[in-house]
Amino acid sequence: MKLTPFVLFGWILFITACSPKYQSFTGNYQFTASAPGGAPDYARLDFWAAHPYKKDPSDSVPKPLRASYRPDSTADVFFIHPTTYTQEEKKFGWNGPVDDAELNAKTDYSTILSQASVFNEVGRIFAPRYRQAHISAYYPKNADDIQQAKNALDLAYADVKAAFQYYLQYENKGRPIIIASHSQGSTHAQRLLLEFFENQILYNKLVVAYIPGMYVNPDKFKQITPCQLPYQTGCMVGWRTYQEGYTPEFIQKEPTRALIVNPLTWDSNKPEAGKEANKGAVLYNFNKVVKNTTAANVHENLLWTPRPSFFGSFLYRTKNYHVADYNLYYVSVRENAQLRLSAFWKR
């Protein structure tokens, strides 16, 4: 599926809202309502958006990168996709099903293609389908909505947890693990890290956690600390991209510091980088790598960049670059994952 500029801008419209006003749903909640379609059976490949035993969009490699492509199967990437259940009418209720063909296609040819594929050279990719919470779970309007949102996110996490447990039992076989996610996926990734890695023996297998697109309070973690250097392992990184000079109101209200790294330098002592440091973005044309597209500057709890520079960028009016957190820094993230895995093996 070729992502034309119009498809990309449409995707921006329905995923941009994943940058929520309320982002604190990382506790333990009890879900009591009925679930759509029943729990996924992760022994079946069709309940995985990406899996090493089937051909899927995460296997795609942008054409300019194919000549040097050398996939590594000695490590695994567990990728948790962002919200793609965004229909305004909330047709399936608070949680989307895992067996709806249209919703799955939207997931596969947006986030799995252009985000999960970042990691297809560093390890085998496992990306579960899960009963994701509707995007409105991040915008509750009243007390009842807040409770329903918590329930919906809890159900979604229950699926992610079940998928990870299945993966550990049947697929991992001692391989090192990279956790990667975006937006709603990063909500669930935080819980996964706290439950399975923080002060657990599995921590010894954690290469790194890439959890951008979401507020992450690093103080909730003691062992899994923010990465300070580009080759550090056993740590976590995150960022949220907005146009330079713009800070959304909900970020201004965040009570604590957030996990933030510059995805061009990966160095806490180098919070700023010009666009010449950007080795390549992958935007609406997946088979084109656009160099020097954006700068990256850490500003308090978010990442600022001037308006990206690429063909057709004059149409790009939004100041919220949430949807492109990975795409703007595609090659940088790809190379950094390889660097950290190499450092993990040396360690």
> Which of 16-25, 41-50, 53-62, 183-192 has the lowest average pLDDT?
16-25
Question: Which residues pair with residue 320 across a beta bridge?
Answer: 242
Angstrom distance (rounded) from CA 150 to CA 237: 25
At residue 300, the pLDDT reads 93
Q: What is the pLDDT of residue 44?
A: 97
Average pLDDT over residues 125-146: 96
> What are the two backbone dihedrals, phi and then psi, of residue 248, each rounded to the nearest 5 degrees?
-60, 150
**Residue 156 and residue 80: Cα distance in Å, rounded?**
11
Residue 337 CA to residue 347 CA, distance in Å, equals 15
pLDDT tops 70 at residue 7: no
On average, the pLDDT of the chain sits at 89
Q: CA 80 to CA 157: how far, in whole Å?
A: 10
Q: What angle do CA 279, 280, 282 make, to 5 degrees?
A: 165
- Alpha carbons within 13 angstroms on the beta-carbon side of residue 64 total 13
Burial of 2 (0-12, 13-18, 19+ CB in 10 A): exposed
Contact 298, 256 (CB under 8 A): no
116 confidence band (pLDDT: 50, 70, 90): very high
Partnered with residue 178 across adjacent β-strands are 77, 208
Q: Average pLDDT in the 255-269 region?
A: 96
Taking the alpha carbons of 209, 189, 116, 49 in that order, is the dihedral positive or negative?
A: positive
Q: Is the pLDDT at 192 greater than 70, yes or no?
A: yes
Q: Which residues pair with residue 235 across a beta bridge?
A: 208
Other beta carbons within 10 angstroms of residue 73's beta carbon come to 9
pLDDT in tens, 316-342: 567 999 999 999 999 999 999 999 999
**pLDDT tens digits, one per residue of 225-259:** 999 999 999 999 999 999 999 999 988 888 889 99
Torsions phi, psi for 38 (to 5 deg): 80, 165
CB-CB contact of 138 with 322 (8 Å): no
Helix (H, G, I), strand (E, B) or coil at 143: helix
pLDDT in tens, 72-107: 999 999 999 999 999 888 999 999 999 999 999 999
Separation of alpha carbons 95 and 133, rounded Å: 5
CA proximity to 313, closest of 299, 333, 293: 293
Confidence grade of residue 284 (pLDDT, cut at 50, 70, 90): confident
Q: Which pLDDT does position 197 carry in this prediction?
A: 98
Give the residue from 25, 26, 20 showing the smallest Cα distance to 249: 20
Angle, CA of 41, 115 and 64, to the nearest 5°: 130
What pLDDT is attached to residue 124?
98
Residues in the chain: 347
Cα Rg of the chain, angstroms: 18
> Identity (one letter) of the amino acid at 184?
Q
Q: Domain residues of the chain, as ranges?
A: 5-22+40-346
Q: Give the whole-angstrom CA distance, residue 269 versus residue 308.
A: 24
